[in-house]
Amino acid sequence: DAKTTQPPSMDCAEGRAANLPCNHSTISGNEYVYWYRQIHSQGPQYIIHGLKNNETNEMASLIITEDRKSSTLILPHATLRDTAVYYCIVWASNTGKLIFGQGTTLQVKP
């Protein structure tokens, strides 16, 4: 079973920041938080991952709470092409399984 909880859907205005929350209250100390997104009819695309520090790359920023029980993915300036299903996953390097939850469908509107 997935170990994360995400809202099923969110809307965001084009050009504004999209903040996607994820709860992972049962995360273990060796598990990382990963974010992927899936645009319709394509394979999931890796976005970012982190352990306990905040992370930023060219696509997004990841904010992880100090207790690591939740995180937020931030797309700083959402575009229409960011419309997709966003998946938050917790995963450890010594774990074979990679389980996806239902994700959040982000709709970016003009």
Partner 1 sequence: SQTIHQWPATLVQPVGSPLSLECTVEGTSNPNLYWYRQAAGRGLQLLFYSVGIGQISSEVPQNLSASRPQDRQFILSSKKLLLSDSGFYLCACRGQGNTEAFFGQGTRLTVV
Contact status, residue 80 vs residue 14, Cβ threshold 8 Å? yes
8 makes contact with partner 1 (CB under 8 A): no
Closest C-alpha among 36, 30, 48 to residue 6 = 36
Site for partner 1 in 63-82 (CB under 8 A): none
**Tokens (6 digits) for 102:** 């239902």
86 makes contact with partner 1 (CB under 8 A): no
32 makes contact with partner 1 (CB under 8 A): yes
Gap between the Cα atoms of 20 and 59, Å rounded: 14
58 makes contact with partner 1 (CB under 8 A): no
Which one, 50 or 82, has the nearer CB to partner 1? 50
4 makes contact with partner 1 (CB under 8 A): no
DSSP character string of 88-104: EEEEETT---------E
29 makes contact with partner 1 (CB under 8 A): no
Binding site for partner 1 (CB under 8 A): 32, 34, 38, 41-46, 49, 51, 87, 93, 96-103
